[in-house]
């Protein structure tokens, strides 16, 4: 049986061919489930033409699209999640499946991300600012003993029972940190969060997001932490790389 991959998508006609091509190359069979979240471009048509199952969710918000996908794939032992502008490596699904074997209780697995940027001055500056911010958040998470940051664009939901599935489908429609909200539901029932650092489980994704990282980095360079970066804020969990294996990539 193919592993379902839930893919929320809003106006992703440009990026979907790259993602679907990457999923077609998987060494473990997968089934792309593209959830069109009210796109105004050809997202749904392109996804269908590329062989993906297409669902439509009219209510805006990425979480609603994710929930639509999860409701469609109830009963699978493992459900993969990624974003429409991402590109997993060929062994992504196989590696996540390997790490899921032996898990008896519900678990959310997450791999690490590589962001890629068009070489424009503004986005290269954003990349630099993001690294400052990531290093800060990694240190704060370690100091405060916070749970692992989960990446919705590189995740697997394992052993989701009826109770947990019902909880996930009832989550309120929030903005950022949808992946963390999903992770919290696993923790509430005694499930586990697992970080996968294998290079085969890495996912590339677009890096031209979260421009507010600029102002965050300015504060951090001055030795301050803006209030909206505190725990529970919408920017509190924007970690990107795994700091244990990629420590040399960060600005200290």
Q: 171-177 contacts: CB < 8 A, separation 24 or more?
A: 171/63, 171/67, 173/59, 173/61, 173/63, 173/64, 174/61, 174/63, 175/61, 175/234, 176/234, 176/235, 177/234, 177/236, 177/237
pLDDT in tens, 204-232: 887 655 544 555 555 555 555 444 344 44
pLDDT for res 6: 98
- CATH of segment(s) 3-249: 3.90.550.10
Write the CA distances from 203 to 57, 102, 124, 159, 208, integer angstroms: 25, 24, 20, 22, 15
pLDDT in tens, 55-86: 999 999 899 999 999 999 999 999 999 999 99
pLDDT for res 140: 58
Q: Which helix (H) or strand (E) holds 206?
A: strand 203-206
Q: What is the full DSSP assignment across 11-26?
A: S-TTTHHHHHHHHHT-
Q: Is the pLDDT of residue 186 over 50?
A: yes
Identify the DSSP state of 57.
Answer: -
Residue closest to 107 by CA, chosen among 214, 195, 12 = 195
Rounded to an integer, what distance in angstroms lies between the CA atom of residue 251 and that of residue 134?
9
Write the CA distances from 248 to 68, 152, 237, 244, 251, integer angstroms: 39, 24, 20, 9, 8
Ranges of each domain in the chain: 3-249
Written as six digits, the tokens of 10 are 């809003």
pLDDT in tens, 7-50: 999 999 999 999 999 999 999 999 999 999 999 999 999 999 99
* Burial of 8 per CB tally in 10 Å (0-12, 13-18, 19+): buried
């Amino acid at each position: 049986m193919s592993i379902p991959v839930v893919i929320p998508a809003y106006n992703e006609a440009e990026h979907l061919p790259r993602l679907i091509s990457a999923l077609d190359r998987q060494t473990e069979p997968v089934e792309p489930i593209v959830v069109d979240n009210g796109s105004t471009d050809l997202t749904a048509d392109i996804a269908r033409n590329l062989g993906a199952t297409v669902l439509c969710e009219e209510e805006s918000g990425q979480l609603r699209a994710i929930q639509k996908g999860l409701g469609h794939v109830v009963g699978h032992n493992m459900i993969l999640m990624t974003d429409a502008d991402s590109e997993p490596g060929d062994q992504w699904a196989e590696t996540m499946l390997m790490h899921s074997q032996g898990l008896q209780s519900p678990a959310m697995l997450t791999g690490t991300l590589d962001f890629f940027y068009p070489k424009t001055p503004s986005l290269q500056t954003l990349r630099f600012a993001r690294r400052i911010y990531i290093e800060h958040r990694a240190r704060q998470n370690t100091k405060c003993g916070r749970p692992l940051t989960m990446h919705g664009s590189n995740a697997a939901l394992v052993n989701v029972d009826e109770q947990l599935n019902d909880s996930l489908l009832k989550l309120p429609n929030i903005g950022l940190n949808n992946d963390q909200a999903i992770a919290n539901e696993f923790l509430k029932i005694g499930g586990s969060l697992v970080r996968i650092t294998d290079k085969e489980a890495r996912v590339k994704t677009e890096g031209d997001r979260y421009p507010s990282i600029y102002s965050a980095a300015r504060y951090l360079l001055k030795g301050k932490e803006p209030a909206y970066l505190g725990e529970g804020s919408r920017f509190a969990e924007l970690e990107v790389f795994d700091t244990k294996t990629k420590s040399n990539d960060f600005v200290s």
